[in-house]
């Protein structure tokens, strides 16, 4: 059995920088036609000069692969209209992080008060620049995303022209918000379609499944599966593939992030086949994102085949999800 995916897109990807960038970027550019590249470097990408320089490093790291890095700026509440008008030619979105909520987010937003954010939000609304949000509070870890739901509602109601993407959603509550507000969309990761907190910490602690936002309850996973598998037009694949060296994962103070970039399409094919909806994989990994972002990607055809694929123990020192196990689908060819 074979399955053809046209121009797969990863709408939430961490490529890091320097040596790690050179290790992991080719693992995405090999099988994807493009990806939304996260700006939370150290220091974060807040200027056009830094953005252009980072994009150049990304392009150099992927050599001749047909892959378009879709760049983003790290949100600041003092971006003005003139700056964003110039930036629009170089970016696909702006990413908002609450302060200290995840990796390299110390320079994030401290206050979610509408008036503090109005200048940038109004300019983004007028210019048609999407807002991407890591939606968590600093509350109890299992409740952080749900608690942020009221913030999403305030954003959506006060700025109805602003396209808001709830990044890597993990709860039924976030899924329900999609039906309540026309301007709310979401990305969903591979790992949150597979795991719950029990897989992370129910037995022996698995540091390679520890991520932020943390995996939630079975009912939350079922809600994510429902909208992803049904090809709901308001959701799209965003791997949130977040590489860290093995010694940063298997240590005290485990770094947050699950690395899925090189195995994502194979694992998604297996998941969608298991549920009898292989035909819905194309919208989830490409078509919905094209419609949401008004974006036409590079033409790239990925042919998957029903053939066992053994996931290695690591890719250049980074441990992937499903390491040392076999997936039912492989990548046969890319044209």
Distance CA(249)–CA(267), nearest Å, equals 22
Query: Any idea what the CATH number is for the domain that residue 130 is in?
Result: 3.20.20.140
**Catalytic residue (one of 10, 65, 220, 240):** 240
- pLDDT of the chain along its 335 residues, tens only? 999 999 999 999 999 999 999 999 999 999 999 999 999 999 999 999 999 999 999 999 999 999 999 999 999 999 999 999 999 999 999 999 999 888 889 889 999 999 999 999 999 999 999 999 999 999 999 999 999 999 999 999 999 999 999 999 999 999 999 999 999 999 999 999 999 999 999 999 999 999 999 999 999 999 999 999 999 999 999 999 999 999 999 999 999 999 999 999 999 999 999 999 999 999 999 999 999 999 999 999 999 999 999 999 999 999 999 999 999 999 999 99
What residues contact residue 184 under an 8 Å CB cut-off, 6+ apart? 152, 156, 164, 166, 177, 178, 234
Sign of CA dihedral 91, 93, 99, 105: negative
Tell me the torsion sign for CA atoms 206, 28, 130, 185.
negative
Domain presence at residue 302: no
Q: What pLDDT score was predicted for residue 79?
A: 97
Query: Residue 171: what pLDDT?
Result: 98
How far is Cα 274 from Cα 138, in angstroms, rounded to an integer? 36
Residue that is written with structure tokens 């036409």 in the block:
296
Please measure the distance between the N-terminal and C-terminal CA atoms of the chain and give it in whole angstroms.
Answer: 18
With respect to residue 127, please indicate whether it lies within any of the assigned structural domains.
Answer: yes
Annotation marks residue 78 as catalytic:
no
Note the pLDDT of residue 54.
98
Residue 2 within any structural domain of the chain: no
Q: Tell me if 75 is assigned to some domain.
A: yes
23 belongs to a structural domain: yes
Residue 1 within any structural domain of the chain: no
Is residue 182 assigned to a domain? yes
Domain span including residue 59:
9-295
Q: Is 158 exposed, middle or buried (0-12, 13-18, 19+ CB in 10 A)?
A: middle
Task: Look at residue 199 in the predicted model and tell me its pLDDT.
Answer: 97
pLDDT of residue 104: 87
Q: How many CA atoms lie within 13 A of 216 on its CB side?
A: 23
- CB count within 10 Å of CB 193 equals 18
Q: What are phi and psi of 219, to 5 degrees?
A: -65, -30
Please provide the DSSP assignment of 228-250 as one string: HHTT-TTEEE---B----HHHHS
Cα–Cα distance list, 227 to 63, 123, 281 (Å): 36, 31, 12
The pLDDT, as a whole number, for residue 293 is 97
The residue written with tokens 């890719």 in the block is 315
Give domain status of residue 57, yes or no: yes
What's the confidence (pLDDT) of residue 315? 97
What's the total number of domains in the chain?
1
pLDDT of residue 103: 86
């Amino acid at each position: 059995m074979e399955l053809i995916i046209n121009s797969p897109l990863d709408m939430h990807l961490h490529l890091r920088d320097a040596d790690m960038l050179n290790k992991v970027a080719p693992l995405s550019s090999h099988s994807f036609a493009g990806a939304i590249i996260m700006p939370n470097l150290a220091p974060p990408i807040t200027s056009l000069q830094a953005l252009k320089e980072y994009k150049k490093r990304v392009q150099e790291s992927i050599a001749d692969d047909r892959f378009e890095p879709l760049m983003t700026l790290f949100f600041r509440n003092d971006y003005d209209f003139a700056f964003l008008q110039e930036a629009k030619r170089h970016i696909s979105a702006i990413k908002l992080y609450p302060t200290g909520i995840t990796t390299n987010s110390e320079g994030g937003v401290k206050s979610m008060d509408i008036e503090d954010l109005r200048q940038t939000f109004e300019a983004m609304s007028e210019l048609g620049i999407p807002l991407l949000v890591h939606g968590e509070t600093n509350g109890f870890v299992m409740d952080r995303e749900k608690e942020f739901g009221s913030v999403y509602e305030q954003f959506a109601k006060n700025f109805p022209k602003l396209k808001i993407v709830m990044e890597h959603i993990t709860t039924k509550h976030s899924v329900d918000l999609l039906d309540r507000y026309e301007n709310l969309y979401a990305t969903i990761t591979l790992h949150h379609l597979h795991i719950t907190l029990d897989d992370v910490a129910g037995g022996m602690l698995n540091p390679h499944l520890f991520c932020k936002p943390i995996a939630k309850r079975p009912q939350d996973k079922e809600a994510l599966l429902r909208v992803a598998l049904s090809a709901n037009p308001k959701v799209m694949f965003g791997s949130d593939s977040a590489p860290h060296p093995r010694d940063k994962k298997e240590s005290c103070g485990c770094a947050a992030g699950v690395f899925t970039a090189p195995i994502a399409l194979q694992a998604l094919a297996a998941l969608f086949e298991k549920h009898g909806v292989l035909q819905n994989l194309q919208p989830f990994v490409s078509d919905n994102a094209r419609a949401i972002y008004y974006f036409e990607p590079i033409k790239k055809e990925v042919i998957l085949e029903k053939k066992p694929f053994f996931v290695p123990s690591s890719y250049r020192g980074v441990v992937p999800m499903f390491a040392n196990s076999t997936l039912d689908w492989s990548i046969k060819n890319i044209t």
